[in-house]
Chain A
């Protein structure tokens, strides 16, 4: 009986099973139509849109103004250089193409579980010692400068994606194209303030290459300009710049690093070295330089957009330096290549160095250099040439060489003449791109007379280095030019060869005086009268005389030369300004001798002294010469200049007053120089006495107005100085004496920033004596004078002096 039931169950089971098998697959088919698995965060990033994507060092996406970075894990912690360059501007006077708003910095990407961060690495401290090295690593964590929440993992799970728009589009200073040296700031006279306009800024494009990526942002600002920091000039203006932010993968750190030597002018990176045996950490400097050897030349690409006639000269300018490399066994170390018809390589790839064309009204060249902060290795460099270099060269040719060179007497220069000047300028900047600094002292190595010598100028040029800013040969006369004297330095000088030998070869520092390096300083610590831009020859007095004589010839003839080309006087309306700048440049090295201090870069064992105040007699001679010149500049009031912009009665008085003012400004420096000397010095009091003597000596009655102008300025200053020394509240500002005493350690590479142990000069009683003597001189001038205006002026001055001496208000 049991067996029968079992079979029945079995049968039913089987039928059920068969039925089930029919049903189940059907159910399975239905299940396949259920919704798909959810999208990953990555897939959801861009919804259904397609961003612009570029792949390279890492991947970037640009969509609707937002930029996304895909950072693979393999890139975390790797050394990168972050740099910002201005690519284009809406107003060439406001900022400059090629400018770098901030120093490139060493960064890494790092990650937590939910954040991706950009952090800067401080490579300014190092040690070869393992213990100290560990301590440094623990003390020098990367500093986070940006932090982004991770939006998704990359599909291969080996990276993360973040939205990084805020880093490339903001009003922060590291991106701001505000250029402190822009033309619109008129050398700091006008303060500009930038207000970022987020609503008018956006991310324009992205680019990626094998070892670098860039994000191009258009940043907009409202720019307000203030004279003297407070007075608004006009309405705020709109300004936009395209700014490129790039990440560059740093190569393997260069092994052969060169420790800098202050006697050779190289760009430097500063770091602190900790050694266990040392008794104090040591501040050291690397010299910046390219990694260049036989197989790896330094390559500059030439921008295709340059006018065709410019290109050969630019190329020659860059390749000038091969002469120096050839001497150290690296011929053809520099190569110039042309950008191909397809536009390769892409100028956005910052690994390529280039000479680039800037179609802006700026009249100068610029360069920037990217160096590896760990070693000082130069990774790439760019020279920017603005379109209006043309007019700049033309004006230089006319004013500096028009007296001797007929070819310079046109507004459109012939190609060879223009090209020669362009080549010279490019050669100068190419040197800067090699890691060399401007050498302000090179032109004053050349004896002034040699500038008129055919053999000398053709053999050696005009300056011991093309790294000085070398003007045209304004000392040469017509007959010199006819005999073949050179007017333009396009070749390297002895210093240039030695510098390349030292930096790229095995050269030693030279003690040959013609190879001296003098740092070109600016501002109040530009104390060395030998280190100047735009000067020639070792005797600035005679050089200036020659230049002024030539300028006189130019002004007398310029109308005749360019009337045909300048029918509407447009060129001549801008000429007074150029002429006054040029005069400034001729007088400046002489004025620099007042209170001049020779600053030698020296090491222990070198000859000479580090600091050498200029001898009193040299300063006196300069002062006497300047005061004589003040009365010999009437020729500047040439009719050709009077047809200028505005109504200029004359340029001469403007220049004379300017010179006098700058002499007054030198008083501070003269006092500083005296404080640095022992023994007989040229003092502030003696300088004031020289001026007093000049101002009240017999003079041409027709020059009275001018004299009165200067006398008033002089008296203001004298009374202020004596007042300060005898108990009145001081109204004077001093560049040196106002600072609190400092004993800082600026020496060698660090810029001079203070004077140690400086106290106010003990010359109050001597200045008082000058005041008494001046009073006597004013009295006798009044007696001598036949003009009621002059007598009245003298009486007025006497009254001021008497009131001061008697302490009356």
Chain B
């Protein structure tokens, strides 16, 4: 083992000399701290200028302009501060050789000589893991194990603790709060940190999580030093927050975790509240939302980030357990809020309708949900047994018991393919069609009243521009939720004995209902083109047309998408053929009825044919592969708002095998779509031939143009 894990050399330094007492060597490390080392790069990969990493950036380090500015040394850590100069080029933004000077502090921390005892974890719970390969003499073959990310929280008085008393931890988890936060934000930030102590108190720890301001009288304190976990303010117009954390790789112990709140996170919260809850909540029908509402939302954002700092991942399934109409119940929302875990991405109550606030309905996520309690209990309850394996026997049993309760199940965040419609971002409730109906009704209400509500505060229309784009984006979000049901497969991480099934295809009726909903929406998008709003927002063409095109693309890709769920269905599958039939009948019904077509219908037929031609491999351009595999309605890149709030606390999650990774259909051959598409094209041609002399001029020309297009494709 030892010879297979000797450790990779990071740097070699020649020994310059020895210390006077010969007990230590002296090396010149200037080159380490004033250099172009990518591993120590101070430039943010997901910076604002690169649109969160979407644009390419070239950096040239200017060594001759860089130098060391300061050094500090303490008993358990040292730090070196350097001024580093770069020239940055982002050609897509016209930025060329822009000088950037960064003052960076690098810390070297001494880890505990004896690592903490790891807590074994598995993929059935939302806790960040560090993966290891376990080679044991008692088993045949090495197997992967995972250590949970957790702080080393030990009772200061174990005997009292075991007697059931609440005790202080040996070392509380302290977050130092930046003194430079806008003063109005501070109380909510403190609250967002301190509130976690409530959950730790339930498992016997007093004041386990504490917020303190940056001390002013401690010469050792330096917020740039890795040793201190901080909540910091960044005066940048990024609408986001992030929370990187660092763990001891030997045990999964969290050594340091920080949260960065960028200034415009407050704008993001404002826009969410306005777009999602203003129909129901009259108090937010203005550009400047009352302090107590937005402050509380800031607290929620921070408490979510602190959750990451405590080792908790996202549980996207926590909102899917709640019946949609309960979100309109005053008693339910007051008690439970919008989700069963604040580690979900459930924003605000977009289901509540006008009048609901007056009836007492709450618009916000809860302070904590039942799943958060479970997380704290599972990850931090001290277990007085002899070994990690013995601990795991207990904690694994907790997971098995939990699996019987939908509220305690874990919905894994899906980064690429959206297979499981339960684990989506920003969705509420157990029925996407119903929830989206409510949500869309609300969006119409917001748009209709937007001018009236903001006219006096928004002289130059910048606020209304942001809200309008927010409405369009939110609309896409609701449609995407419904689209996830089409071809969806419910997934659960399961161990033997758990009361869940590994997978289950979304039932056929539900898939059809979702698809029909999307097709109905195609006829009902004109409300987006409200010129009384958009005429003042600069050059705005038609959001309805843009959304329609994107949705049509998704609809035409649906038959291919349902292939997997059909193959996995026990019986009564929603097959690609049935899917295509449903769509075909809808799009071509007006033609079959010999009607004169309006421009929207013409557009849909044209798009249908165009995209079908691509899938059938008939058209020269277009990317048939990506279309066939499209699993979500693509929001055109340029107006995808950067909504990746709360990037996970650890940068990359190790992705060993199955459980933590993305579900990968193995031994699955996607049914070929070309035949189905080609057959449709021929059917359309026959249909149109019969009507090439339609009495209505526009319709007639449209059919002839389509016939011409078909001939072009078939050549």
Q: Which residues does A use to contact B, with CB under 8 Å?
A: 112, 115, 117, 119-120, 125, 127, 129, 131-132, 134-136, 138-139, 141-147, 173, 262, 272, 274-281, 283, 525, 527, 597, 602-605, 609-612, 672, 675-676, 678, 722, 725-729, 740-748, 752, 754-759, 762, 764-766, 768-769, 772, 805, 807
If A135-B180, A143-B101 are given as contacts, then 15 extra A-B residue pairs at C-beta distance below 8 Å, sorted by A number, are: A119-B101, A132-B233, A279-B267, A602-B536, A604-B458, A604-B536, A675-B541, A727-B619, A743-B639, A752-B538, A755-B540, A757-B542, A758-B542, A769-B697, A769-B701
On chain B, the residues within 8 Å of A676 by CB distance are 539-541
Partner of A612, one of B287, B461, B535: B535
Give the residue name and chain of the A residue nearest to B262 (CB).
Answer: A281
Partner of B461, one of A117, A125, A610: A610
Contact check, B99 vs A740: say whether CB atoms are below 8 A apart: no
B708 adjacent to chain A (CB < 8 Å): yes
Contact check, B538 vs A747: say whether CB atoms are below 8 A apart: yes
Contact check, B182 vs A132: say whether CB atoms are below 8 A apart: yes
Contact check, A762 vs B705: say whether CB atoms are below 8 A apart: no
A179 to B540, CA, bound (A): 34
On chain A, the residues within 8 Å of B603 by CB distance are 762
Partner of B636, one of A147, A609, A741: A741
Q: How far is the CB of A802 from chain B (nearest CB, A)?
A: 13
Partner of A740, one of B461, B534, B613, B636: B636
Contact check, B613 vs A727: say whether CB atoms are below 8 A apart: yes
Contact check, B705 vs A768: say whether CB atoms are below 8 A apart: yes
B30 adjacent to chain A (CB < 8 Å): no
A278 to B294, CA, bound (A): 11
Partner of A756, one of B289, B458, B538: B538
Contact check, A748 vs B460: say whether CB atoms are below 8 A apart: yes
Q: How far is the CB of A646 from chain B (nearest CB, A)?
A: 40
Contact check, A757 vs B713: say whether CB atoms are below 8 A apart: no
On chain B, the residues within 8 Å of A725 by CB distance are 705
On chain B, the residues within 8 Å of A132 by CB distance are 180, 182, 233, 235, 263
A596 to B272, CA, bound (A): 36
B702 adjacent to chain A (CB < 8 Å): yes
Interface string of B177-196 (1 = CB under 8 A from A): 01111111100000000000
A611 to B534, CA, bound (A): 9
A272 to B287, CA, bound (A): 18
On chain B, the residues within 8 Å of A142 by CB distance are 101
Contact check, B540 vs A611: say whether CB atoms are below 8 A apart: yes
Contact check, B237 vs A281: say whether CB atoms are below 8 A apart: yes
B436 adjacent to chain A (CB < 8 Å): no
B621 adjacent to chain A (CB < 8 Å): yes
The 10 A-B pairs at the shortest CB distance, nearest first, are namely A280-B267, A276-B182, A743-B639, A135-B180, A610-B536, A765-B702, A143-B99, A768-B705, A279-B270, A758-B541
Contact check, B535 vs A280: say whether CB atoms are below 8 A apart: no
Contact check, B539 vs A597: say whether CB atoms are below 8 A apart: yes
Give the residue name and chain of the B residue nearest to A737 (CB).
Answer: B541
On whether A144 and B235 interact (CB within 8 A), knowing A281-B267, A726-B705, A741-B636, the answer reads: no
On chain B, the residues within 8 Å of A765 by CB distance are 602, 698, 701-702, 704-706
B466 adjacent to chain A (CB < 8 Å): yes
Contact check, A740 vs B638: say whether CB atoms are below 8 A apart: yes
A507 to B639, CA, bound (A): 39
On chain A, the residues within 8 Å of B85 by CB distance are 143-144, 147
Contact check, A262 vs B182: say whether CB atoms are below 8 A apart: no
Contact check, A757 vs B639: say whether CB atoms are below 8 A apart: yes
B65 adjacent to chain A (CB < 8 Å): yes
Contact check, A147 vs B540: say whether CB atoms are below 8 A apart: no
Contact check, A742 vs B96: say whether CB atoms are below 8 A apart: no
A740 to B634, CA, bound (A): 13
A772 to B619, CA, bound (A): 24
On chain B, the residues within 8 Å of A762 by CB distance are 545, 599, 602-603, 606
Contact check, B545 vs A757: say whether CB atoms are below 8 A apart: yes
On chain A, the residues within 8 Å of B545 by CB distance are 757, 759, 762
Q: List 17 A-B pairs, Cβ < 8 Å.
A: A115-B65, A135-B233, A135-B234, A143-B101, A144-B62, A144-B65, A272-B237, A274-B263, A276-B182, A277-B288, A279-B288, A280-B264, A283-B462, A741-B546, A743-B638, A745-B465, A766-B698
A589 to B537, CA, bound (A): 26
A807 to B711, CA, bound (A): 7
A672 to B697, CA, bound (A): 24
Contact check, A726 vs B712: say whether CB atoms are below 8 A apart: yes
B143 adjacent to chain A (CB < 8 Å): no
On whether A743 and B288 interact (CB within 8 A), knowing A280-B267, A727-B709, the answer reads: no
Give the residue name and chain of the A residue nearest to B461 (CB).
Answer: A747
On whether A281 and B529 interact (CB within 8 A), knowing A726-B708, A765-B698, A768-B704, the answer reads: no
Q: How far is the CB of A390 from chain B (nearest CB, A)?
A: 39
On chain B, the residues within 8 Å of A145 by CB distance are 99
A762 to B620, CA, bound (A): 21
Contact check, B101 vs A759: say whether CB atoms are below 8 A apart: no
Interface string of B234-249 (1 = CB under 8 A from A): 1111000000000000
Q: How far is the CB of A139 from chain B (nearest CB, A)?
A: 6
On chain A, the residues within 8 Å of B713 by CB distance are 727
B472 adjacent to chain A (CB < 8 Å): yes
On chain B, the residues within 8 Å of A675 by CB distance are 541-542
On whether A742 and B67 interact (CB within 8 A), knowing A135-B180, A747-B462, the answer reads: no
A741 to B635, CA, bound (A): 10
On chain A, the residues within 8 Å of B602 by CB distance are 762, 765
Give the residue name and chain of the A residue nearest to B234 (CB).
Answer: A139
Q: How far is the CB of B232 from chain A (nearest CB, A)?
A: 9
B370 adjacent to chain A (CB < 8 Å): no
Q: How far is the CB of B236 from chain A (nearest CB, A)?
A: 7
A757 to B83, CA, bound (A): 44
Q: How far is the CB of B231 from chain A (nearest CB, A)?
A: 13
Interface string of B439-463 (1 = CB under 8 A from A): 0000000000000000110111110
B126 adjacent to chain A (CB < 8 Å): no
Interface centre among B62, B263, B461, B538 (most CB of A within 10 A): B538
Interface string of B251-269 (1 = CB under 8 A from A): 0000000000001101101
Q: How far is the CB of B56 from chain A (nearest CB, A)?
A: 16
B594 adjacent to chain A (CB < 8 Å): no
On chain A, the residues within 8 Å of B704 by CB distance are 765, 768, 772
Contact check, B546 vs A759: say whether CB atoms are below 8 A apart: yes
B469 adjacent to chain A (CB < 8 Å): yes
Interface centre among A143, A597, A675, A758 (most CB of B within 10 A): A143
A143 to B102, CA, bound (A): 8
Q: How far is the CB of A140 from chain B (nearest CB, A)?
A: 8
A747 to B535, CA, bound (A): 12
